[in-house]
Amino acid sequence: MTERDQLWAEGDPAFLLEEGISYVREWARAQHAVADLKAALSELGNGDAMPYLRGDVNVFGAAFVELGRVTPQTAALIAQALAHMRDSQNKADEGRAA
């Protein structure tokens, strides 16, 4: 077993961090996105709609947001919002084509 494997087996994944990768900056970016989404959901009266929502960073330094499990109502709300965005974009595109 290599030293790297030993560290992993002991539950110390910090050795995976690579020098020069901005893990904290990317983690903060994910956290800000989570906060923005929670605020938007709260404004719609659905502040608790995504209880498993979280932001994190992977070992490569890439930020991600995990939406987690949601109710069918929350999924429908997201679908409606995306459809509204699409329709708004199509109307804006039609206005420019004239």
User: What is the distance between the alpha carbons of residues 25 and 90, in angstroms, rounded to a whole number?
Assistant: 35
**Model confidence pTM above 0.75:** no
User: What is the distance between the alpha carbons of residues 20 and 78, in angstroms, rounded to a whole number?
Assistant: 36
Kindly state whether residue 93 falls inside one of the protein's structural domains.
no
What DSSP letter does each residue of 4-56 carry, written as one string? HHHHHHTT-GGGGPPTT--HHHHHHHHHHHHHHHHHHHHHTT-TTS-TT-EEE
Kindly state whether residue 58 falls inside one of the protein's structural domains.
yes
pLDDT at 85 over 80: yes
Kindly state whether residue 95 falls inside one of the protein's structural domains.
no
Kindly state whether residue 74 falls inside one of the protein's structural domains.
no
Kindly state whether residue 98 falls inside one of the protein's structural domains.
no
Least confident of 17-26, 53-62, 79-88, 89-98: 89-98
Higher pLDDT, 95 or 48: 48
**Domain around 48:** 3-69
pLDDT in tens, 9-55: 666 565 566 778 888 899 999 999 999 999 999 998 989 999 999 99
Total number of domains constituting the chain: 1
